[in-house]
């Protein structure tokens, strides 16, 4: 004997469907939380990261003592939070004597731990400390550009992993159409040494150049910090293979609003939006009309209607 | 100029060939050099971006980005395809095509266009006023009731099919995310009787019984949140204090008095309830006094009937029979 349980409200059904696995995935959400102890610097760093990812991040404020992602039993809390908030990326900040200003960037697959990168934050400068023209400030939610500099990102294992995780973290949604006027931020990562990465955010200023391609100018805007790579854990091979599987390409696109008949041939439907009669601004010829009227009036008083006739002829 | 790796789908540029020839002298130098290099990289990305064919829009030119080249892992597993339902299998076998239905349909009964589902719908059973009798109809049957039963049967069959389809989907891991299948009863194994559901009161009783079986009677057991405190069904015993004076109201004296009274009254054959008799006498005296007072005020012609009491008259004062020291 089985009973079918469905949510009584349609809103809850919609929320559940949003969290269901999809063929093509939209943006990943990030969970930002504290560990047992955090320092002032780390609090500022976590706040800045939250501001960078405002729309699709959730920040927890309480400290969580039992979260130890690198230990075997310590990730159950994280997995539970990931399940509850439907977040597949997390940023965990902890501070201890052995690992000061520690940030653990992690990803989950199917709400289980996928991989981890542990970095230490040094030389942190927050957004407020940079002075720049406020008009250049990047908008929240704009798609960022990435610039990775240094051969370390290809040769060193940890840095390769860090590059992938940073890309995943700050990428946002994968979009098909991009508005070129909306490009206003770039994340700059420079591998200074095999263990250190300099990370900063810059605003993009597009300047006129001769060709269609504008000249780019970067202005350092956002938080800048040094990442010192500490530990990392690569994903399990089997899980990695599963996670890297892409959707099958065979779904053919249904052409909408097109029907075909043997008699009529191919027939399409066009939908025209309602005409906005009355709210369309008329061309403003009031000035000209006024001037003409004024002149005509003046001429009328001075001269005979014969003048008017001349005017009409010239038209 | 070294080649940059550009991933347009992710708007990423990677320079794998740049290396710091000399370690940067100071932080500003490093920042400046990073910015320079960054500018070059971003310029490269912008070059490729602005070359793409763009459509004009009031906000700005819109380009279609190619899919990203760097592969990143998914966050959830790929959804599994749903197994075909019972109807879909049948339709495929018979070659039945799906036709899109309109929201309104012509109702033969009223001759108007009505909506297909919902309030005031087409071919509703409620709207049929008369059902003509057919030759093969039995005389005692109610055709309206029969219609209702048939509809109920159809609905039940549909529910059964739906449950079956969902079970098949759950078996292949493709259950829709908003649906859960819950077992209402355990499968019947041996006896015919279905296992009875234990109610809240029963559970409380059983829990209480189990608790009272402990050495401290369940008094110090840790309670779950929401559990009620243990009920004490029996009487609370009262014990006398260890040291007390022997005055008039000493508890020990009272206790022994009570016991003795009970014993003696049981063994005596007097049917007299001494206290009750005393109270009755006193009440009578009061009445007499009041009536005497009243007689001096009122002048009633009626004579009050003289009630004779058949009960044994008590002696004046209280008797000493039942009392003990």
d(CA A29, CA A172): 9
| A152-174: pLDDT as tens digits | 888 888 999 999 999 999 988 88
The pair of structure tokens assigned to B201 is 């009161």
Give B65's contacts in chain A (Cβ within 8 Å).
175-178
Are the Cβ atoms of B45 and A145 closer than 8 angstroms? yes
Residue B274 inside a domain? The answer is no
Q: Which domain holds residue B46?
A: 5-63
Are the Cβ atoms of B77 and A181 closer than 8 angstroms? no
Gap from B153 CA to chain A (nearest CA, Å)? 18
Quote the pLDDT of residue B192.
58
Q: Among A2-6, A292-296, B116-120, B177-181, whose mean pLDDT is lowest?
A: A292-296
Contact B177, B169 (CB under 8 A): no
Residue A269 inside a domain? The answer is no
Q: Which of A110, A178, A183 sits opposite B76 (nearest CB)?
A: A110
Residue of chain B whose Cα is closest to the Cα of A241: B73
Residue A307 inside a domain? The answer is no
Contact with chain A for residue B16, Cβ under 8 A: yes
Residue A191 inside a domain? The answer is yes
Residues B226-257 as b or e (16 or more Cβ within 10 Å = b): eeeebeeeeeeeeeeeeeeeeeeeeeeeeeee
Contact with chain A for residue B181, Cβ under 8 A: yes
Question: Of the candidates A23, A7, A19, which has an alpha carbon nearest to the alpha carbon of residue A247?
Answer: A23
Residue A247 inside a domain? The answer is no
Of B128, B145, B173, at which residue does a domain stop? B128
Residue among A145, A160, A241 with most chain B CBs within 10 A, to mutate: A145
Angstrom distances, CA of residue B161 to CA of A99, B85, B157, B158, B167:
60, 9, 6, 5, 10
Are the Cβ atoms of A114 and B79 closer than 8 angstroms? no
Contacts of residue B19, defined as CB under 8 A and 6 or more positions apart, other chains included, come to: A150, A151
- For helices A305-314 and A286-302, the axis angle rounded to 10 degrees is 140
| A231-256: pLDDT as tens digits | 999 999 999 999 988 877 766 777 88
Each as own residue / partner, the long-range contacts of residues A25-29 (CB below 8 Å, 24 or more positions apart, any chain) are A25/B74, A25/B75, A25/B76, A26/A173, A26/A174, A27/A56, A27/A171, A27/A172, A27/A173, A27/A174, A28/A56, A28/A87, A28/A88, A28/A89, A28/A168, A28/B75, A29/A56, A29/A57, A29/A58, A29/A85, A29/A86, A29/A87, A29/A88, A29/A89
Are the Cβ atoms of B62 and A220 closer than 8 angstroms? no
Residue A195 inside a domain? The answer is yes
Residue of chain B whose Cα is closest to the Cα of A18: B177
d(CA A149, CA B44): 13
The pair of structure tokens assigned to B85 is 């339902």
Quote the pLDDT of residue A134.
79
Give A164's contacts in chain B (Cβ within 8 Å).
70, 72
Contact with chain A for residue B2, Cβ under 8 A: no
Question: Of the candidates A243, A89, A227, A113, which has an alpha carbon nearest to the alpha carbon of residue A168?
Answer: A89
Are the Cβ atoms of B24 and A150 closer than 8 angstroms? no
Quote the pLDDT of residue B194.
59
Q: What is the DSSP letter of A287?
A: H
* pTM of model > 0.80: no
Residue A252 inside a domain? The answer is no
Angle among Cα A247, A12, B155 to the nearest 5 degrees reads: 90
Are the Cβ atoms of A217 and B60 closer than 8 angstroms? no
Are the Cβ atoms of B75 and A247 closer than 8 angstroms? no
The pair of structure tokens assigned to A174 is 């994968």
DSSP string over A207-245: E--SSSSPEEEEEEEEEEEEEEEEEEEPPPHHHHHHHTP
Are the Cβ atoms of A181 and B61 closer than 8 angstroms? yes
Quote the pLDDT of residue B152.
95
Average pLDDT for A10-31 = 90
Gap from B165 CA to chain A (nearest CA, Å)? 11
Structurally, chain B folds into a number of domains equal to: 2
Are the Cβ atoms of B167 and A108 closer than 8 angstroms? no
Of B95, B128, B161, at which residue does a domain stop? B128
Residue B118 inside a domain? The answer is yes
Structurally, chain A folds into a number of domains equal to: 1
Q: Which of A3, A110, A147 sits opposite B182 (nearest CB)?
A: A3
Gap from B74 CA to chain A (nearest CA, Å)? 5
Quote the pLDDT of residue B303.
58
d(CA A191, CA A148): 8
Helix, strand or coil for residue A193? coil
Quote the pLDDT of residue B1.
42
Contact with chain A for residue B50, Cβ under 8 A: yes
Q: Which domain holds residue A30?
A: 25-237
Are the Cβ atoms of A16 and B71 closer than 8 angstroms? no
Q: How confident is the model at residue A57 (pLDDT cuts 50, 70, 90)?
A: very high
Are the Cβ atoms of A242 and B75 closer than 8 angstroms? no
d(CA B225, CA A134): 55
Are the Cβ atoms of A177 and B41 closer than 8 angstroms? no
Residue B45 inside a domain? The answer is yes
Contact with chain A for residue B11, Cβ under 8 A: yes
Mean pLDDT for chain A? 86
Are the Cβ atoms of A114 and B14 closer than 8 angstroms? no
Contact B185, B194 (CB under 8 A): yes
Q: Which of B47, B78, B180 sits opposite A245 (nearest CB)?
A: B78
Residue B27 inside a domain? The answer is yes
| B177-189: pLDDT as tens digits | 889 888 877 666 6
The pair of structure tokens assigned to B273 is 């309830």
Question: Of the candidates B74, B84, B86, B1, which has an alpha carbon nearest to the alpha carbon of residue B44?
Answer: B1
Residue B234 inside a domain? The answer is no
Angstrom distances, CA of residue A151 to CA of A121, A284, B20:
21, 61, 9
Residue of chain B whose Cα is closest to the Cα of A2: B183
Give A196's contacts in chain B (Cβ within 8 Å).
none
Contacts of residue B31, defined as CB under 8 A and 6 or more positions apart, other chains included, come to: A198, A200, A220, A224
Residue A243 inside a domain? The answer is no
d(CA B71, CA A243): 10
Quote the pLDDT of residue B322.
47
For A37, half-sphere exposure in the C-beta direction (CA atoms, 13 angstrom radius) is 8
Whichever domain contains A74, its CATH number is 3.40.50.10480
Quote the pLDDT of residue B325.
46
| A62-85: pLDDT as tens digits | 988 889 998 888 889 999 999 999
List of chain B residues with pLDDT < 70: 1-2, 20-25, 186-195, 270-271, 296-325
On the 0-12 / 13-18 / 19+ scale of CB atoms within 10 A, B197 is exposed
Residue A42 inside a domain? The answer is yes
Give A160's contacts in chain B (Cβ within 8 Å).
none
- For helices B86-94 and B143-171, the axis angle rounded to 10 degrees is 100
Taking residue A30's Cβ as centre, other Cβ atoms within 10 Å add up to 24
Are the Cβ atoms of B35 and A202 closer than 8 angstroms? yes
Contact B8, B48 (CB under 8 A): yes
Backbone angles phi, psi at B188, to 5 degrees: -75, 120
Residue B279 inside a domain? The answer is no
Are the Cβ atoms of B64 and A12 closer than 8 angstroms? no
Gap from B192 CA to chain A (nearest CA, Å)? 15
Backbone angles phi, psi at A91, to 5 degrees: -125, 115
Contacts of residue A232, defined as CB under 8 A and 6 or more positions apart, other chains included, come to: A115, A116, A117, A118, A157, A158, A161, A162
| E strand residue ranges, A54-158 | 57-63, 89-94, 102-109, 112-125, 145-149
Contact with chain A for residue B73, Cβ under 8 A: yes
Angle among Cα B302, B304, B306 to the nearest 5 degrees reads: 150
d(CA A46, CA A49): 5
A and B: number of Cβ contacts within 8 A: 209
d(CA A290, CA A296): 10
Are the Cβ atoms of B61 and A5 closer than 8 angstroms? no
Give A114's contacts in chain B (Cβ within 8 Å).
73
Residue of chain A whose Cα is closest to the Cα of B57: A179
């Amino acid at each position: 004997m089985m009973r079918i349980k469905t949510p009584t409200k349609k809103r809850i059904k919609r929320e559940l469907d949003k969290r269901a696995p999809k063929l093509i995935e939209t943006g990943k959400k990030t969970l930002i939380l504290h560990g047992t102890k955090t320092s002032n610097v780390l609090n500022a760093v976590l706040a800045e990261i939250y501001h960078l990812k405002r729309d699709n991040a959730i920040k927890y404020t309480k400290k969580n003592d039992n979260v130890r992602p690198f230990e075997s039993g310590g990730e159950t809390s994280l997995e539970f939070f990931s399940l509850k908030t439907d977040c597949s990326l997390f940023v965990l900040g902890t501070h201890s004597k052995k690992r000061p200003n520690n940030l653990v960037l992690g990803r989950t697959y199917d709400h289980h731990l996928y991989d981890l990168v542990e970095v230490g934050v040094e030389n942190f400068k927050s957004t407020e400390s940079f002075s720049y023209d406020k008009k250049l400030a990047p908008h929240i939610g704009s798609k960022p550009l990435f610039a990775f500099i240094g051969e370390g990102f290809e040769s060193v294992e940890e840095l390769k992993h860090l590059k992938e995780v940073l890309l995943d973290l700050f990428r946002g949604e994968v979009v098909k159409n991009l508005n070129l006027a909306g490009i206003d931020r770039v994340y700059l990562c420079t591998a200074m040494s095999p263990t250190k990465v300099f990370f900063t955010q810059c605003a993009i200023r597009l300047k006129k150049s001769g060709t269609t391609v504008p000249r780019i100018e970067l202005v350092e805007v956002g938080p800048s910090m040094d990442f010192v790579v500490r530990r990392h854990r690569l994903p399990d091979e089997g899980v990695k293979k599963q996670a890297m599987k892409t959707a099958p390409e065979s779904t053919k696109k249904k052409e909408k609003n097109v029907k075909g008949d043997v008699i009529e041939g191919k027939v399409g439907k066009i939908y025209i939006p309602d005409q906005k009669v009355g709210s369309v601004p008329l061309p403003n010829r009031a000035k000209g009309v006024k001037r003409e009227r004024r002149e005509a009036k003046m001429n009328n008083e001075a001269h005979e209607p014969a003048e008017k006739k001349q005017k009409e002829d010239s038209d | 100029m070294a080649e940059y790796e550009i991933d347009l789908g992710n708007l990423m540029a990677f320079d794998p060939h740049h290396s710091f020839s000399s370690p940067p002298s100071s932080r500003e130098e490093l920042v400046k050099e990073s910015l320079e290099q960054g500018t070059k990289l971003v310029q490269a990305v912008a070059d490729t971006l602005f070359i793409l064919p763009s459509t004009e829009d009031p906000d700005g030119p819109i380009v279609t980005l190619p899919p990203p080249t760097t592969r990143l892992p998914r966050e959830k597993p790929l959804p599994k395809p749903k197994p075909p339902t019972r109807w879909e299998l049948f339709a495929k076998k018979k070659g039945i095509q799906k036709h899109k239905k309109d929201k309104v349909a012509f109702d033969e009964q009223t001759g108007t266009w009505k909506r297909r589902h919902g309030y005031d719908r087409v071919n509703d059973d409620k709207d049929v006023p008369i059902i003509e009798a057919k030759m093969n109809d039995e005389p005692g049957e109610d055709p309206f009731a029969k219609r209702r039963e048939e509809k109920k049967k159809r609905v039940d069959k549909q529910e059964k099919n739906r449950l079956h389809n969902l079970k098949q989907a759950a078996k292949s891991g493709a259950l829709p995310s908003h649906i859960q299948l819950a077992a209402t009863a355990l499968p019947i194994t041996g006896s015919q009787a279905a296992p009875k559901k234990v109610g809240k009161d029963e559970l409380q009783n059983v829990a209480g019984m189990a608790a009272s079986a402990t050495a401290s009677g369940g008094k110090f057991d840790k309670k779950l949140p929401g559990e009620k405190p243990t009920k004490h069904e029996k009487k609370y015993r009262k014990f006398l204090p260890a040291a007390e004076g022997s005055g008039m109201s000493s508890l020990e004296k009272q206790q022994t008095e009570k016991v003795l009274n009970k014993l003696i009254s049981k063994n005596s054959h007097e049917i007299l309830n001494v206290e009750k008799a005393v109270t009755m006498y006193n009440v009578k005296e009061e009445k007499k006094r009041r009536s005497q007072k009243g007689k001096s005020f009122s002048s009633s012609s009626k004579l009050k009937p003289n009630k004779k009491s058949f009960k044994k008259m008590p002696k004046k004062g209280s008797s000493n029979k039942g009392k003990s020291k």
